[in-house]
Amino acid sequence: MDQKQFEKIVDKQTPKAPLLANILKAFLVGGIICTIGQLITLFYIRFFPFTERTAANPTVATMVFIAMILTGTGMYKKISQFGGAGSAVPVTGFGNAVISASIEHKSEGYILGIGGNMFKLAGSVIVFGVLSAFFVALIKTILVKMGVISW
């Protein structure tokens, strides 16, 4: 039996994933997460002196914090098993990934296990974010000085 014959047999025997159901679940879970984020934004606008623009930062921080709490308690895993890619909405997916790495390596100790592995992901995301913001601001400043766009 060669490789192609083996692959045909494996393809026949492998059950097909319920694609439409998975898409709907991902859409539902992602939509619920985004709706919660919008409600948190409205909460900050209503009860604190934030505008729509300035409420974004505390909303992101709150969503990351909630995802981290849910990951630590094991609830995020259940949500992601149901919703699949829908639970990987960037903000909550980031919080989940940071805490998951920490939990996975907690046997190595607080500093090298939890701290070191937490910042493997978080550090690269933060560095990339800071560098991206710098270059975007630089390009915008140049375009404003040239008169291409207005501030």
134 within some domain: no
pLDDT, tens digit (0-9, with 9 covering 90-100), for 11-37: 888 888 899 999 999 999 999 999 999
7 within some domain: no
Please give the tally of structural domains in the chain.
1
14 within some domain: no
What is the pLDDT, as a whole number, of residue 94? Answer: 83
Nearest-angstrom CA–CA distance, 5 and 130: 50
Q: What is the mean pLDDT of residues 129-149?
A: 93
Q: How far is CA 32 from CA 29, 69, 121, in A?
A: 5, 17, 25
56-73 and 90-104 helices, crossing angle to 10°:
40
What stretches of the chain adopt beta strand conformation (E)?
A: none
139 within some domain: no
Q: What is the pTM of this model?
A: 0.72
Enter the DSSP assignment of 113: I
* Enclosing domain of residue 57: 20-104
